[in-house]
Amino acid sequence: MTKKFYMTPGSCSTGIHILLEECGLVFEAHIVNLLAGDANSKEYRAINPKGTVPALMLDDGSVLTEFSAIAWWLGRSYPKRGLLPESVADEVRVLGLLNHAVNTLHMQGFARIFTTERFAPSHCDHASVEAQGRLIVEQGFALADKELAGRDWVVERFGVADAALFYVEFWAERIGIPLPPNCAAHYRRILTRPAVRQVLAEEGYASALR
């Protein structure tokens, strides 16, 4: 059975899409149109009851959900690709920045910008909620920038935490939030990777490569 990858172009699933290509895996890509409500359909909920992307159905039919879990599974399952570090100290560093990208920058910051209504049912509060989201994003990138100082990657080479940081850096670029210098350099560095260029072209974001 071929692996099935459930994704939304330009979303956090882009980071997992990149890791799948970095691993050289063969898989079927299935588009979940979040704006059209596909994630809440009976068909998709049968695959992923959480109604989120990304999701990865494995060869045995089991389904992995959550960015961090899928990324870690890929790193552990394909160790020759070097997506996870070998030392405990580096592993902890990777976990810290991976969770910072997903839990803080994405779920606390960008979520307030992209899905403001979830945080403030009243339209009168939308502007303040979005401003709070932008502040969280700016502060979050400032912390990531310090972690990347003097480094090309989160640890010795490109890995799962870099893919997580990339998708939030990509969002920042798309909506005009300036990246601090180390994050900007990290983003540009990742854009040169063949797997990343392939994924962005496939997902309809070839303009980001210019």
Three-state DSSP class for residue 6: strand
90: which residues sit within 8 A by CB, 6+ positions away? 155, 156
Could you state, in order of their start, the residue ranges of all structural domains in the chain? Answer: 3-81, 88-193
- Tell me how far CA of residue 139 lies from CA of 7, 38, 81, 192, 205, in angstroms: 28, 33, 32, 26, 27
Closest residue by Cα to residue 165 from 205, 118, 125, 106: 106
pLDDT single digits (tens) 105-116: 999 999 999 999
Quick one: CATH architecture of 3-81?
Answer: 3-Layer(aba) Sandwich (3.40)
CATH topology of domain 88-193: Glutathione S-transferase Yfyf (Class Pi); Chain A, domain 2 (1.20.1050)
Regarding pTM above 0.85, the answer is yes
Over residues 132-176, the pLDDT tens digits come to: 999 999 999 999 999 999 999 999 999 999 999 999 999 999 999
Question: Residue 64 belongs to what H/E stretch?
Answer: strand 63-65
